[in-house]
Amino acid sequence: MQLTDILARDRIGADVRVSSKKRLLELLASLLAGDLGGAVERAIFDALDAREHLGSTGLGRGVAIPHGRVGGNLPPTAAFVRLRSPVDFDAPDDEAVDLVLALVVPDHFTDQHLTLLAEVAELFSHTEICAELRAAGDAQQLFERISRRTLQFSEV
């Protein structure tokens, strides 16, 4: 399973406005839950928030990968947002975050969860990819660039 398998165009936002890390996690929970309802959205928010309390998922250089595990039959799902104005995310370099890819997986997806996190961390460790995403015009371009770059890395 790769990032392109779990990231859909309708879970990508460009130039999103949020006022805080908590509001960002709420937005991501909503995107990840889709039309599954408020209980699922709340479970996802709680999982993302609980993970952040263990330590920030900010990688540095303006990138964060909030992630969590939830019970039930929720499939592995990803969402991506580029923020209009960066928010503090307690990243190790103290840089505010503007590129955020969130993951949620079922509780039993231990190995797959770690593989997906490694793939995403590798993708966002490349400054040229981050620059491409920051320069993208809209959500469709963001989706195309993430998809293209993910496929390029899987071919290596």
CB 89 within 8 Å of CB 58: yes
Name the pLDDT band for 153 (thresholds 50, 70, 90).
Answer: low
Look at residue 81 and tell me whether its pLDDT is greater than 70: yes
pTM as predicted: 0.92
Q: pLDDT by residue (tens digit) across 12-28? A: 999 999 999 999 999 99
Look at residue 156 and tell me whether its pLDDT is greater than 70: no
Look at residue 154 and tell me whether its pLDDT is greater than 70: no
Q: pLDDT by residue (tens digit) across 96-124? A: 999 999 999 988 877 777 888 888 888 89
Look at residue 47 and tell me whether its pLDDT is greater than 80: yes
Name the pLDDT band for 71 (thresholds 50, 70, 90).
Answer: confident
What residues act catalytically?
Answer: 67
